[in-house]
Amino acid sequence: MMLNRHYSPLDRLLLQADAALRTLVPGSSQPARPSPANALAETSLSESQSRHLAGLMRINHCGEVCAQALYQGQALTAKLPEVRDQMEQAAQEEVDHLAWCEQRLTELGSRPSVLNPLFYGLSLTIGALAGRISDRISLGFVAATEEQVCRHLDDHLQQLPDDEQKSRAILQAMREDEQRHAESALAAGGFDFPAPVKFGMRCIAKVMTKSTYRI
């Protein structure tokens, strides 16, 4: 039987640095699950459709970069071991989404956002601060964030061409996982943020989506 290893603060800092590089360096993320788009045929897209689709996938890729940073920051400051383990497990599952979006961007002849390092740093800081306040707030922040992600994914799914199945399969699989993460965070004792806070989070999210669509 394998025992859980106890890491020192320095060990955890080095692990976080490694995670940051794996998140931000293209081609570094190794998914545990194959992309749901792999078995689907490519659709013939016009230049404008391809450009718009790449913009949507770039937004989603940046969102996954932020999710990685958020979970990693929360894991650094979580007070209860079970909460830390939940954050680290969720971050590992988000690696699949990160790799799937990056693969789709490559297929579309595009690239991730150059703003990813900036949003990674901001999300890591927010996650660490939420974890420092309390595990209940940290879990609640996860739930509220994943709720916003589901809203974005629903909107993007509606914007896809009807016959564009590869991107649709990726976004649908991502949405299922994100919804589960939100429900799990609340079930674990997360604080259900009030509507004004969630509205503020949506406004901040718009900054990310508007800037990463093209950049």
User: Which amino acids are annotated as binding site for Fe cation, given as ranges?
Assistant: 64, 94, 97, 146, 178, 181
User: Which of these, 141, 139, 178, lies nearest to 156 by C-alpha position?
Assistant: 178
Q: What is the 3-state secondary structure (H, E, C) of the chain?
A: CCCCCCCCHHHHHHHHHHHHHHHHCCCCCCCCCCCCCCCCCCCCCCHHHHHHHHHHHHHHHHHHHHHHHHHHHHHHHCCCHHHHHHHHHHHHHHHHHHHHHHHHHHHCCCCCCCCHHHHHHHHHHHHHHHHHHCHHHHHHHHHHHHHHHHHHHHHHHHHCCCCCHHHHHHHHHHHHHHHHHHHHHHHCCCCCCCHHHHHHHHHHHHHHHHHHCCC
Query: Which pair of tokens denotes residue 16?
Result: 């976080």
Q: Which residues are annotated as a binding site?
A: 64, 94, 97, 146, 178, 181
Centre a 10 Å sphere on the Cβ of residue 83 and count the other Cβ atoms it contains: 23
